[in-house]
Structure formats: structure tokens, C-alpha cells
A and B are shown apart, each in its own frame.
Chain A
Amino acid sequence: MSKFIDKTLSNAIGYIQQSIYSEKYAKRNGLLQGIDGRAKIIALLFLIISAVYAKTIDMLLFFIVLSMILAAASKIPLSFFIPRVWFFVPLFTGIIVLPATLNVVTPGKEIFTLMAIKSWHLSVTKEGIHAAAILIARVAATSSFAILITLTTRWNDAVESMHDLKFPKVFVLVLSMSYRYIFLLLDMVKNMLLSRKSRVMGKEKSMGSWKLYSPIIASLFMKAFSLNGKVYHAMLARGFGNEPQSMKKKSISIKSVLFLLLCTSLAIAMLICERQEVVQCLLP
């Protein structure tokens, strides 16, 4: 039971610390931090799209290396950046892609046999490994660029950029407020669990402890609901009329425009190269 509390507590505190810690990189004086949020989002989105369409390992490796160069130029230590990217890739994609390496999903040249029952056998194929490697590399490349956006952009800049890029107003407002209140609610969870922990003596059975947690969850929902009403009143008092109004509009720097042009040109060039390579492969 105490393990459960400790884990939940450390995760809640860890999330808060990590989020604030991530903003530390966004405040650094690096390459991507100096680029306007709007330009950065569009540029990196182009690179993500280009990586999604890349069909060769070489091309995807190029994108992965490019993301690392961008990270280093943005003063993000690779020892922080690489584990952040590669933590999710094997965790999610690795598991999903595992069956694709087998002959039952991707037939081809068999490398080794895992299981054989009479004439039926389960083997790993060369084509399967190639397909899996492509998918893993693609996920790594795209998530690298996505992580670069989050690491080098302060949250309010990201929200403003989304607003300027004509994301729906309500979506931007909800996103912005969620980010604001997630810390407060996590703080509440942390305090409720600490208070609970301070009153627990001895060991509790795991089933029993789960039952004791349901009132905490209910209480959190009630507090969140009550907060919702109060926040709406606070917004109403300051002239909110169910339609969020725009925040400040910034002019875009030449540096940002150049970065945008460079990245989009590169992404388009890679797409063209990829297409030509495919066409050449198809030619007799």
C-alpha cells in the first residue's frame, strides 16, 4: 500500500518538477529558443511530415541526426534529449512492431526460427526486421522533432503561437487552462496522499487501500468541479463573454523566417528525393 502511495506521490512530484525543469531548456539562449514559436512549429511540422513519408533507413537516420544537431545547437544536453526520445520509442512502437518481424505478418527471407510445430513454424524475417526498423526510426525521428518543439518553446509562447496559427480559440483556451490547473490539482493530490500517508500505521492490504483511495479520487473531482465554477466567475468578472479574445501579436524576426525557409526547403527536398528514389526503384 505504502508503495502505491509512494509511487503516486513521486510521480506527481516528478511530473511537476520535470515540467518546470523542461522550461529551463526553453529559457536557454540556444538556436531553437531564439526562433519565433510560429516559425518553429511550422518548420518542425514540415520536418515531421517529411520524416513520416521517408521510406529508407538512410533518410530517417538523417532526420534523427538532424534532430540531435538541432538539440545540441539549442543547448539541450544529448544525455537528456536522447533518453527522452528513446524511452517512448521502444515502449510503444517496439511492442506494436514486434509481430511485424514475424513471417506470419511479413513473409520473406527467414533469418531464424522461433518455434516449429510439424510443418508450421514461426520465424523472424529479414523483410520483417526491415519494416520494423523503418517504423521505429520513423517514430524516433518524428518524436525527436516533436520533443524539440516542447523542450525549446515556453508554454505561453506555444499557446500564443497556436493562437496566431489560427488553432480554434476554445481549444487554445482549454489547453492553456489545463496546463495552469494541472499543477494545482497535482498539488492537491500530493497533499491528500501525504495527509493519508501521515495517518497510516502499519501495513494495509492492497484491496483495502484501493477502497480507501476512492474517496480521495471523489474528493479531487468535487474540488475540481467547485474550482471550475469559481474560475468561470473570475473570468466573467473580467469581461469574459464565452468567446476568448486574442492575446498579443508579435512581429516575426528575419532569423525565424530564414529558419522556416531552410527547414521547409529541406523537408520538401527530402520528399522529392524520396519520391525519385522510389521511382528509380520502380523503373526497370
Chain B
Amino acid sequence: MPSPVIELHNVSYTYPDGTEALKNITAKIFEGESVAIAGPNGAGKSTLLLIMGGLLAPSSGEVKIFGKKIDGKMISNVKKMYEVRKKMGIVFQDPDVQLFSSTVHDDVAFGPIHLGMSMDEVESKVSDTLKFLGLEHVAEKHPYELSGGEKRKAAIATVLVSSPDVLLLDEPTADLDPKSRKEFVELLKKLKDGGKTIVIATHDMEMLPEIAEKIFVIDRENITEGNLRDVLMDEKLLEEANLDVPLVARLFKMLESSGLNCDEIPFNTDGAIEKIRNMVNG
């Protein structure tokens, strides 16, 4: 049984202006899992991700990251948080938040330098990461000069360079064109196959069947945990959370309701192709 990397117990968070972002949230994420956090706008997904990443202390409740209890005092202690920072990588929704240095190279190097790696190691890791993501040509560019897709990739590079065990991604496919989105999903699949724990906060339901196995549907006070397939089949839950069923699944559901016999509804195009092929071949 894998050990939990993130544990939340009755976590609540209230913003300084009194807005309640989260209330009594309990969740566990285990090593090697690919988990989605889905919910409507303003449901508290980003806040939850910041708490999971050890960047924000909850107003009440308990947070444990790699078994270590995280509170407000601990968060501001660089030494105590060193291991957590090294193991957790968080990619913010807005790449302009993530890319704060004057070149892509310096931004990618920022993490390893501040985590105490030697200069040779930093240079080698930066160069490998940029190569892996196909960003060598923009290394010396100012983030302002990058396209939306390049910015998103560069933001991921700033995190991947430190080889974190857990990746927390906030709306990673927002603003991506279809080609960049496809490339990004492929990248996530690679990382998932490499054994990384991935947590994605999103309402892009089309992407989830490709990556996630487990899903948390969140709406401030309520969190529903479930297997991705079960949750995607629960129309009432999805409707309440303003979420959509992936297009392929919707199509097969309609076909099923019009009399076609589908044992298992596919959620992505690969699954749909296989299903149709099986149906045609009898």
C-alpha cells in the first residue's frame, strides 16, 4: 500500500476579507497517484492546491505533507520546509506568476539554485530540462517574448528541473491551443508513467480521462472523492458542480439511450475507436 503524500483533515480556509474559500475538507493523496481536483469557478481549487503545496496554512484543520505536519510557523521556516519544497512542485495557473526572472534560463535555474544545488549541477539540469521540453531556443529570451504555449511549457520547466516527486498543476491547459494542449497531455502521461504523483486542479474534463485515475469534486464545503469513471458517470454530481461529461462519453451515452448496447462507455478518442472497432467486428 503506497503511503499518503498529502493528507488534509477538516481543512478550512478563510481569506482576510472574510470570504470562506474552503470548509472542512478531508482528503488523502497517495504516492504515484494521478488525481484531479475538479469544480466550478470559485470552488476553492487554487486555494486547496496552495495548501497542498505547503504555501498556505489553513485557518483550521490539519495538513500533512510527506507525514510532516504543516502550519503557519513552519511555512515561513526555510530550513524546516526544505524537504517539502524539494519534493513538491507547483505550477501556477498564470505562467506570468511562475516566470518572474528576466530570462527563461534564469527562471528555470531559480529553483535548483535556491535548493542549494552546485552551479555545474544547476547548468546541467537546466540544459536537460529545456531540451526535454524543446525550449532550448527560448532559453535567453525574456518571458514577455514567449507565446502562450511556450510560457506554459517554461512554467512547467521551472518545476520539473528540480525533479519533484509531486506535481501540483493549477488549470494547466487553460489558454493552450489544441496542438500545445495535446503536447502537454502527452508530457503529463510521460511524467505519470515515470512514477510522479500528479495533482491537477481543472475543469477541463476532456483531459482528465487521459491522465487522472481519481477525482475530487469540490465546491467549498463539499468534497466528493471517487474513481474517475464513477464520477464521470454521475450526471447529477457533475451538473451540481457545473462540470461537463467528456464529449466522447456524452456521445456514447446518447447512443446507449437510443438503444445501442455499450458495456463500458469510453471517455477518450482512443477508447471510442476501440469500442467502435469491436462493435463493427461483432
Contact A234 B98 (CB under 8 A): yes
Q: Does A264 contact B (CB under 8 A)?
A: no
Interface string of B20-54 (1 = CB under 8 A from A): 00000000000000000000000000000010010
- Pick out which of these stretches binds chain B: A36-44, A55-63, A243-251, A274-282: A243-251
Contact A247 B97 (CB under 8 A): no
Nearest-CB residue, chain A, relative to B109: A247
Contact B158 A156 (CB under 8 A): no
Contact A234 B100 (CB under 8 A): yes
Partner of B111, one of A16, A176, A238, A248: A238
**For chain A, which range describes its interface: under 10, 10 to 19, 20 to 34, or 35 or more residues?**
20 to 34
Contact A231 B82 (CB under 8 A): no
Contact B114 A240 (CB under 8 A): yes
Interface string of B233-245 (1 = CB under 8 A from A): 0000000000000
- Pick out which of these stretches binds chain B: A76-84, A179-187, A192-200: A179-187
Contact B144 A176 (CB under 8 A): no
**Which residues of chain A in 13-27 are interfacial with respect to chain B, using CB atoms and an 8 Å cutoff?**
16, 20, 23
Q: Does A239 contact B (CB under 8 A)?
A: yes
Main secondary structure of the interface of A (DSSP, over half): helix
A227-B97 contact given A183-B144, A233-B50, CB 8 Å threshold: yes
**Which residues of chain B in 91-113 are interfacial with respect to chain A, using CB atoms and an 8 Å cutoff?**
92, 94, 96-103, 105-106, 109-111, 113
Nearest-CB residue, chain B, relative to A233: B55
Partner of B106, one of A156, A183, A187, A235: A156
Contact B119 A248 (CB under 8 A): yes
A183-B109 contact given A230-B97, A234-B92, A237-B53, CB 8 Å threshold: no
Nearest-CB residue, chain B, relative to A237: B90
Q: How far is the CA of A20 from the CA of B159 in the complex (A)?
A: 27
A259 → chain B closest CB, angstroms: 23
A156-B140 contact given A230-B97, A239-B85, A248-B119, CB 8 Å threshold: yes
Residues on A with C-beta less than 8 A from B119 are 248-249
Q: How far is the CA of A179 from the CA of B50 in the complex (A)?
A: 27
A239-B55 contact given A179-B102, A234-B97, A245-B113, CB 8 Å threshold: no
Q: Does B229 contact A (CB under 8 A)?
A: no
Q: Does A260 contact B (CB under 8 A)?
A: no
Contact B142 A180 (CB under 8 A): yes
Of A180, A184, A238, chain B has the most CB atoms within 10 Å of the CB of A238
Q: Does B275 contact A (CB under 8 A)?
A: no
The list of the 10 closest CB pairs from A to B, nearest first, reads: A241-B78, A239-B114, A238-B111, A183-B144, A239-B115, A230-B97, A156-B103, A237-B90, A245-B113, A156-B102
Listed in ascending order, the chain A residues whose CB lies under 8 Å from chain B are 16, 20, 23, 154-156, 159, 176-177, 179-181, 183-184, 187, 227, 230-231, 233-242, 245-249
17 contacts between A and B (CB under 8 A): A156-B102, A156-B105, A176-B102, A176-B106, A180-B100, A180-B101, A227-B96, A230-B94, A230-B97, A231-B100, A233-B50, A234-B100, A236-B55, A237-B53, A240-B114, A241-B114, A246-B113
